Amino acid sequence: MSSLLTQKTKLTATDLPKMDIFYSVLLGAGLTAAFFFFKFPHFLQDCRYIMSMLWVGSKREKFRERNYTLLDSFLDRVQKQPHKSFIVFGDEVHSYLQVDQESNKVARALQAHSGSTMALMLGNEPAMVWILMGLFKINCAVSLLNTNIRAKSLLHCFNCCTSSVLIAGAEYREVVCDVLPELQAKRVCVYVLGDDGGVEGLHNLAEKIERQPNTPVPPSLRENISMNSPALYIYTSGTTGLPKAGLVLHSRLINSSLFLSMLGVKSDDVLYIPLPLYHAAGLQIGLAGAIELGITVVLRRKFSTSQFWKDCRKHDVTAFQYIGETMRYLCNTPETDNDRQHKVRLAIGNGLRADVWHDFQRRFGPLEITEFYAASDGNISFVNYIGKVGAVGRVNFFHKKVFPYALIQFDAEREEPARNNKGHCVPVPTGETGLLVVKITKVAPFAGYAGNPEQTEKKRLRDVFQPGDVYLNTGDLLKIDHSNFIYFQDRVGDTFRWKGENVATTEVADVLGMLDFIEDANVYGVKIPGHEGRVGMAAVTLKENLEFDCREAFNHVTGVLPVYARPRFIRVLESMELTGTFKQVKVKLVKEGFDPKVVPPPLYVLHESSRSYVPLTQTYYSSIVGGEIRF
Ligand SMILES: *[C@@H]1O[C@H](CO)[C@@H](O)[C@H](O)[C@H]1NC(C)=O
Ligand SMILES: *[C@@H]1O[C@H](CO)[C@@H](O)[C@H](O)[C@H]1NC(C)=O
Ligand SMILES: *[C@@H]1O[C@H](CO)[C@@H](O)[C@H](O)[C@H]1NC(C)=O
Ligand SMILES: CC(=O)N[C@H]1CO[C@H](CO)[C@@H](O)[C@@H]1O
């Protein structure tokens, strides 16, 4: 390049031949660059991503060397910016210093339990943040119970982590009372963050905290915390079976706090977290990331469609976390004149389907949407740093070197990876859906589930490509297209096989969602005696004041979906049952199947000769089950 420039300075009008050379070289270079960027349109963004990975890697290394935990990160923030707003909740604002002082009171109130594991059943509220910090100050690990679980399930989760203390939010007092005898039999100390209602065996923690001075507890209380000590137990959503407790080490917690800046959040952003803090997205990515960046967090007890934009406007929110469903709910509201009146520049999350993505941008945009993939019990993440609609990430040479992963063929019928005659797994060709497996290495470790060695072992896949190698089975089906974009397809449990084909339930749900009378669709497979695999069924909810149009549904479904993927049965629900993270509950629906005796009407069956969906009668049902009618 420099020789070109020196050449240029020497040029005179008489140097025509040289001039020609100069311009042809320039043209050549230009064309090469043009060709290069045509071939590799995202080269610069790919490089930028690699740079941020390197930056994150070196920061993590420093954390590791210094035994630097999230608590240290928080205390640094308190030092540097004591009066900056940290948590905004309704009309309450708490600065970094105030949260620190509250956490000192918590540490003092619970000092007697120092070194144990505490279970929290708290909704999103500022106290959750200072209780968390306070417990870290006295070397306690924290088990974050999903606030939707009850009774047996609650006891199951509580017992996963051998906690000796349970702290419940005031609104969960009754829930806790229901299991109090079992807890007391195990000598568990139960606190309520508020009035204990005079119930024997409950203690009022709010009062106890209030009585404490707000000065720091001795740091020696946490001298035994190492990077490999448990920090949190986070439960995987209970979509299938009982929840499992994923162990999060201090090392992992601080490592994951850097993810938020990789997603594009900056130190002057205001982050809105309407997702529950008992899940990885809200806590490990959102809250921990906010502490690392030292930013202001706007918390909300529960996601609310009607309050969402009001909150964003009121608190000058510039970035928020979403999951696909919350974005769909927002798009389903009536349009208003001030849809675009907000300061949000960035939305980060996962599960956003392409149709909603477009809708959202059209109504509320333009803003940056960054999808990412990261399973709470997984050990890999992808970031769609290009903003490609529908993708969760992008194959990046460097990333793949550091975190070796592969998409392999999955046998949906037997619900396990397919193996070739040598007993090894088989990578899928580009463009086809496969199960994501990630090599378990030092940089990509897998901590496993607390108190559940079988489940932990189940996630480990051995002899994948070579005898003795170990991969993590993410249970997620992904697809990589010819331009290297990665698409999330489904959870393994959420695929079913019919007529020798894999049907991805989210894909069918997307198609149903295009019908203007359908609000939400939940698609699953149901068994029919005498048939292999499962036939498609959908449970849908309807938009207000709209009817299910049998003929239009038929035309749309048969027009768009291949025969094997069409939902044979459609039932209409009043409302969709969701898990704590708004994931749809399928297991119950699958169990109920399509028996008109079990499923209350309206229940429809796809009827080719009428060219419509028709109500499923008991007689018709019997002839399907009896085998007179075959699909
Ligand atoms: C970090 O913790 C480890 C193990 O607990 C200890 O051996 C090491 O000396 C600590 N390093 C620093 C810098 O404190
Ligand atoms: C830290 O561990 C040592 C050795 O096990 C123990 O003697 C000490 O009491 C522990 N410190 C605290 C604060 O628990
Ligand atoms: C966190 O990052 C460090 C440095 O890359 C790594 O050594 C450590 O294994 C990571 N911890 C976890 C639990 O992922
Ligand atoms: C998504 C996720 O949690 N990935 C983890 C995989 O392993 C790396 C390396 O240790 C962790 O830092 C990531 O957080």
Give tens-digit pLDDT for 33-75.
887 777 778 888 999 999 998 999 999 999 999 999 999 999 9
CA of 443 to the centre of ligand 4 (A): 8
Which residues contact residue 93 at a Cβ distance below 8 angstroms, ignoring those fewer than 6 apart?
A: 85, 87
Whichever domain contains 504, its CATH number is 3.30.300.30
pLDDT band per the 50, 70, 90 thresholds, residue 583: low
What confidence category does residue 412 fall into, taking pLDDT thresholds of 50, 70 and 90? Answer: low
Task: Enter the pTM of the model.
Answer: 0.77
pLDDT band, very low/low/confident/very high, at 5 (cuts 50, 70, 90) = very low
Check whether residue 84 and residue 211 sit in a common domain. yes
- Please name the residues in contact with 411: beta carbons below 8 A apart, sequence gap of 6 or more: 417, 418
496 neighbors 590 (Cβ within 8 angstroms): no
Give the pLDDT band (50/70/90) at residue 235.
confident
**Where residue 9 falls among pLDDT bands split at 50, 70, 90?**
very low
Pocket test for ligand 1, best of 61, 68, 226, 228 (most atoms within 8 A of CB): 226
Which segment of 190-194, 447-451, 468-472, 495-499 scores lowest on mean pLDDT?
A: 447-451
Ligand nearest to the Cα of 256, by number? 4
* pLDDT level of residue 240 (50, 70, 90 thresholds): very low
In this structure, of 72-81, 380-389, 456-465, the range with the lowest mean pLDDT score is: 456-465
- Same-domain status, 475 and 570: no
Atom from ligand 3 closest to the CA of residue 57: 5
Whole-number Å distance, alpha carbon 57 to ligand 3 midpoint, is 9
The interaxial angle of helices 505-513 and 354-364, nearest 10 deg, is 40
Which of 252, 350, 399 to probe ligand 4 with, by most ligand atoms within 8 A of CB? 252
Check whether residue 46 and residue 163 sit in a common domain: yes
- Buried b / exposed e across 154-178, counting CB within 10 Å, b at 16+? bbbbbbbbebebbbbbbbbbebbbe
Number of domains in the chain: 4
Q: How confident is the model at residue 610 (pLDDT cuts 50, 70, 90)?
A: very high
SS3 content of the chain, % helix, strand, coil (to 5): 40, 25, 40
Same domain, 261 and 344: yes
Nearest ligand by distance to the CA of 115: 2
Question: Is the confidence at residue 367, as pLDDT, over 90?
Answer: yes
Structural tokens at position 270 = 């205001």
Q: Is 229 in the pocket of ligand 2 (CB under 6 A)?
A: no
Average pLDDT over residues 152-162: 79
The range of the structural domain enclosing residue 427 comes to 403-488
C-alpha of residue 375 to centroid of ligand 4, in Å: 10
Domain boundary among 200, 228, 255: 255
**Residue 217, pLDDT score:** 96
Q: Which of 455, 488, 521 is the last residue of a domain?
A: 488
Alpha-carbon span 356 to 390, nearest angstrom: 9
Residue 4: per-residue pLDDT: 44
Asked if residue 566 is part of any domain, the answer here is yes
* Mean pLDDT within 83-103: 98
Q: What is the pLDDT of residue 14?
A: 57
Six-digit token pair at 145? 């119970």
Say which residues have a Cβ less than 8 Å from residue 136's Cβ, sequence separation at least 6.
69, 70, 71, 142, 222, 225, 231
- The whole-number average pLDDT for the span 498-510 is 74
Tell whether the model's pLDDT for residue 540 goes beyond 70.
yes
What's the CA-to-centroid distance between 444 and ligand 4, angstroms? 6
Choice between 273 and 10, residue whose per-residue pLDDT is larger? 273
What's residue 442's pLDDT? 67
566 alpha carbon – ligand 3 mean position (Å):
45
For helices 354-364 and 324-331, angle between their N-to-C axes, nearest 10 degrees: 50
Least confident of 69-73, 208-212, 284-288, 408-412: 408-412
Ligand 1 atom 4: the closest Cα is on which residue? Answer: 226
The verdict on 249 and 263 lying in the same domain is no
pLDDT-derived band at 572 (thresholds 50, 70, 90) equals: very high
d(CA 406, CA 428): 9
- Of 112-121, 331-340, 500-509, which range is least confident? 500-509
CB of 142 within 8 A of CB of 132?
yes
For position 371, what pLDDT does the model report? 95
Core vs surface per residue 560-576: b (16+ CB within 10 A) or e: ebeebbbbbbbbbbeeb
Nearest-CA residue for ligand 1 atom 13 is 66
- Strands 270-273, 296-299: pairing is parallel
Over residues 99-125, the pLDDT tens digits come to 999 999 999 999 999 999 999 999 999
When pLDDT is averaged across residues 398-416 and rounded to a whole number, the result is 83
What's the confidence (pLDDT) of residue 41?
82
Check whether residue 93 and residue 236 sit in a common domain.
yes
Judge whether 7 and 18 are in contact, CB under 8 Å.
yes
The better pLDDT of the pair 399, 242 is held by 399
Q: Does the beta carbon of 626 lie inside 6 Å of ligand 2?
A: no
Bridge partners (DSSP) of residue 439 are 471
Residue 120 CA to residue 165 CA, distance in Å, equals: 9
Q: Which ligand is nearest to the CA of 67?
A: 1
Q: How many CA atoms lie within 13 A of 376 on its CB side?
A: 25
* 505-523 residue pLDDT tens: 877 887 898 899 999 899 9
Same domain, 468 and 598: no
Residue where one domain finishes, among candidates 255, 281, 302:
255
Cα(315)–Cα(304) distance, integer angstroms = 15
Note the pLDDT of residue 454. Answer: 67
- Rounded-to-integer distance, Cα 151 and Cα 171, Å: 15
β-bridge mates for residue 202, sequence order:
190
Q: Is residue 376 over pLDDT 60? A: no
Q: Which residues have CB under 6 Å of ligand 4?
A: 252, 255-256, 374, 378-381, 443-445
Whether 518 is in a domain gets the answer yes
Mean per-residue pLDDT of the chain: 87
Q: Is the pLDDT of residue 93 over 80?
A: yes
Mean pLDDT confidence for 309-326:
93
Compare 265 and 197 and report the one with higher pLDDT: 265
> Where does the pLDDT of residue 228 fall: very low under 50, low under 70, confident under 90, or very high at 90 and above?
very high
At 236 the pLDDT is 66
Which of the four pLDDT bands, split at 50, 70 and 90, describes residue 475? confident
pLDDT of residue 237: 47
Ligand 4: residue of 380, 382, 401 to mutate (most ligand atoms within 8 A of CB) is 380
458 found inside a domain: yes
Same domain, yes or no, for 295 and 337? yes
484: left (phi over 0), alpha (psi -120 to 50) or beta: left
pLDDT at 582: 53
Read off the CATH number of the domain in which 299 is found: 3.40.50.980
For residue 402, the model assigns a pLDDT of 84
- Cα-based angle 577, 580, 604 (whole degrees, multiple of 5): 15
Are 100 and 127 within one domain? Answer: yes
Mean pLDDT of 173-188: 91
Six token digits for residue 34: 């043009």
Q: Which residue has the higher pLDDT, 251 or 412?
A: 251
Predicted local confidence at residue 7, as pLDDT: 45
CA–CA separation, 353 and 369 (whole Å): 12
Query: For the chain, how many residues are written?
Result: 631
27 found inside a domain: no
SS (H, E, C) 303-329: CCHHHHHHHHHHCCCCEEEEEHHHHHH
Supply 300's token pair. Answer: 């909300």
Tell me what percent of the residues of the chain surpass a pLDDT of 70: 89
Q: What's the count of helices (H) and strands (E) in the chain, helices before strands?
A: 23, 30
Residue 468: CATH number of its domain: 2.30.38.10
Nearest ligand to the CA atom of 403 = 4
Alpha-carbon distance 448 to 465, whole Å? Answer: 22
If you search the block for the tokens 């311009």, which residue do you land on?
23
Q: What is the pLDDT of residue 339?
A: 95
Helix (H) or strand (E) holding 288: helix 288-293
Ligand 1 first shell, C-beta below 6 A: 66-67, 226
> Do 125 and 172 form a contact (C-beta atoms < 8 A)?
no
- Assigned domain for 14 exists: no
Q: Is the pLDDT of residue 580 over 60?
A: no
Q: How far is the CA of 288 from the centre of ligand 4 (A)?
A: 14
**Is 397 among the domain residues?**
no
Task: Give yes or no: residues 90 and 166 share one domain.
Answer: yes
Positive/negative CA dihedral, 353, 354, 357, 363: negative
Ligand nearest to the CA of 472: 4
Here the tokens at position 178 are: 């229901």
For the segment 337-357, the average pLDDT, to the nearest whole number, is 91
With respect to residue 594, please indicate whether it lies within any of the assigned structural domains.
yes
Question: Looking at the predicted structure, is the pLDDT value of residue 129 above 80?
Answer: yes
**Rg of the chain taking only CA atoms, in angstroms:** 27
Segment 185-196 mean pLDDT? 92
Q: Does residue 412 lie within any of the structural domains? A: yes
Residues 238, 104, single domain; the answer is yes
- Per-residue model confidence (pLDDT) at position 238: 35
Structure-model confidence comparison of residues 208 and 629, the more confident one: 208
221 lines ligand 2 (CB under 6 A): yes
Looking at the structure, do residues 265 and 247 belong to the same domain, yes or no?
Answer: no
